[in-house]
């Protein structure tokens, strides 16, 4: 083989290898995109775009208080999915804070942004945070607060999740004395168990199923005439 023939052969070989590399890269990128779409499909199979959020548990004060004890806590709310990972939600909360001989019943309305770490799995940890409004049911006063929380959720069946959560709350204005407490801003915790009921998302699920290239879509079965 002379020099020209050798160079021509090497050029053709290099071109073939380059084309194969480009095709393989495109296939890998397409496979990655399809995998992401299938993960979204799992999210809509397991969960959904809307959530009814219910929970019960206990609440107690943080700080230099004597004879603090846990009071009863309950919550009910609604969450909406911005994506499989992010939810925004609004909850109404009732809880008791007890110390010394004082037992105070309080309400709060909280707005939260929540992040699910593994939304396409039956089990996922989650974190959330936001702002809220504390209200005293007896004195009819209110005060702003912030809250952060974390927990985990396990799906008992599709669309129904059991969860455990812990939440830290920080009051911004103690001068209003929404709690009968000291001169510091009020701090308290709430923790409990609850249930998330998911629904909705059928339209998004249909779009994903139509958009993902499956073997059935790429190789349709033509019935015999």
The residue that leads in pLDDT, 149 or 1, is 149
Residue 83 pLDDT > 60? yes
Nearest to 136 by CA among 176, 83, 190, 188: 176
pLDDT (tens digit per residue) in 162-210? 999 999 999 886 544 555 555 566 789 999 999 999 999 877 777 776 7
Position 48 scores a pLDDT of 92
Confidence of residue 125 (pLDDT cuts 50, 70, 90): very high
Average pLDDT, rounded, for the chain: 80
Residue 18 pLDDT > 70? no
From first CA to last CA, the distance across the chain in angstroms is 57
Specify which of 10-19, 131-140, 161-170 reaches the highest per-range mean pLDDT.
161-170
Q: What is the pTM of this model?
A: 0.76
Specify which of 30-39, 44-53, 140-149 reaches the highest per-range mean pLDDT.
44-53
Specify which of 97-111, 143-157, 191-205 reaches the highest per-range mean pLDDT.
143-157
Nearest to 72 by CA among 48, 56, 54: 56
Residues 6 or more apart whose CB falls under 8 angstroms from that of 67 comprise: 99, 100
CB 181 within 8 A of CB 29: no
Percent of the residues in the chain that have a pLDDT greater than 70, as a whole number: 67
Position 74 scores a pLDDT of 97
């Amino acid at each position: 083989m002379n020099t020209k023939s050798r160079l021509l052969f090497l050029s053709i070989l290099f071109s073939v290898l380059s084309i194969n590399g480009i095709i393989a890269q495109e296939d890998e990128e397409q496979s990655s995109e399809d995998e992401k779409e299938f993960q979204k499909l799992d999210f809509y199979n397991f969960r959904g775009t809307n959530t009814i959020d219910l929970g019960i548990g206990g609440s107690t004060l943080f700080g230099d208080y004597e004879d603090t004890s846990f009071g009863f806590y309950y919550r009910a709310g609604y969450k909406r999915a911005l994506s499989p990972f992010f939810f925004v939600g609004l909850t109404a909360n009732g809880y008791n804070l007890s110390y010394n001989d004082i037992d105070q019943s309080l309400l709060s309305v909280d707005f939260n942004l929540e992040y699910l770490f593994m939304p396409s799995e039956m089990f996922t940890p989650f974190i959330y945070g936001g702002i809220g409004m504390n209200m005293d049911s007896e004195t009819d006063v209110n005060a702003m607060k912030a809250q952060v929380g974390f927990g985990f959720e396990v799906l008992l069946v599709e669309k129904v999740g059991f969860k455990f959560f812990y939440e830290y709350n920080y009051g911004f204005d103690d001068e209003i004395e929404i709690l009968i407490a000291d001169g510091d801003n009020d701090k308290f915790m709430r923790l409990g168990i609850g249930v998330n009921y998911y629904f909705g998302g059928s339209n998004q699920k249909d779009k994903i199923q139509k958009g993902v290239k499956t073997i059935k879509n790429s190789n349709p079965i033509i019935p015999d005439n």
